[in-house]
Structure 1
Amino acid sequence: MLLPLMVQAQIALKNWTIEDHSGEVKIIVSGDTLEITAPKGLTLWYNQRLTSDYEISYRVKMLMQGGKYDRLSDLNCFWGANDPEHPGNLFARSEWRNGIFQHYKTLSLFYVGYGGNHNSTTRFRQYFAKAADTSDAIARPVIKEYTDKSHLLFPNKWYDIQIRVEKGITTYRINGEELFRLTIKNNEGDGHFGLRLLENHTLFTNFQVKSLKKK
């Protein structure tokens, strides 16, 4: 028996918390695939807090089909996210953040902005949980940046993304290429993953989390 579409959506999104600046995000569910239209800033948080050594993987495509929000920019993500004002409860200030990008400066996390700034930069930053009005150089300094075309977004192309926290190092790979690597402190990678989008239209599928801790 096929479940009603609304029930399917509820099941597919039960592991996720949505912070949506527009209040008009549209998510269409098909199996394990989410088609997401984000009119403004959107963070889709994975509810489970990840600890120790782990790997996050997923596939994503920027849809460019002539729609109102088909914008080739901002295939972004957060990981290791925590709110020092509310340890262990990232969602205590979820309504205040509400998808507003500046508000995420109050968290500690790692961030990749792939094809940001209207698809002109791909940047790796670390956030240090400062006030929302703190300058970027202090609150979220750039660790590494690409501006060449091969490391920016292409329309309607599938991207396989893999994020690892393992043995005191975190890495970000896309389509098999390691773009970013950083040595981190003990437990600094513990926290939540979030898919971060801005005024775009994406397919998000095959999300998986795997523990890398040896038994």
Structure 2
Amino acid sequence: GILQSLVIVGMCCSCTMLTAISMSAIATNGVVPAGGSYYMISRSLGPEFGGAVGLCFYLGTTFAGSMYILGTIEILLTYIVPKAAIFVAEHKEDEVDALLNNMRVYGTCCLVLMAIVVFVGVKYVNKLALVFLACVILSILAIYAGVIKTIFEPPDFPVCLLGNRTLQNHAFDLCMKTELKDNLTVTTKLWSLFCDGPDLNATCNDYFASN
């Protein structure tokens, strides 16, 4: 899927580049007043095409903004400040629900703050654009820094494989069928998930037994 992914990225970059070139040509004719892209679209294409394109632009920006907020909150609570979580899962299988609830709360707060900035005026939005641009550049640099770091210090990601299938360790603690305790071979919790008993001669799932 690498080739197909590169084709998708190339198409997206082409659309972005063509849009940027077109906007540059329009903005060269004079200073764009308040309204930004909406003003340029409506004045350049007319009310009919400008309204249709502006509606699509509005919907795209709306969904993109929601995805950006959720992504920001997820990274914030997962890696940067995990102790800031309001909802904490008591069991491992409840971690997804707790994360979603935290994303709802913090995402709503973030959206309210952004709405306040927008309602104050476009002037302040343009001033904060430099701050957001710095955050984006810092994020991109962090990606390359992480790539360089993993070259010299590869991370240890424990993955439990059964044959060619990955297993989620919600119901077991060791990624092995048996373990040695007091010079005795005993079965683990993973064994009990695929076999009808804890004994070594128990009947097990065919795929489990063959791998």
Which protein is bigger by CA-based radius of gyration? 2
Same fold (TM over 0.5): no
Q: TM-score range by the shorter chain?
A: under 0.3
Question: 1 or 2, which has the higher strand percentage?
Answer: 1
Q: TM-score, with normalisation over the residues of structure 2?
A: 0.23
Q: TM-score, with normalisation over the residues of structure 1?
A: 0.23
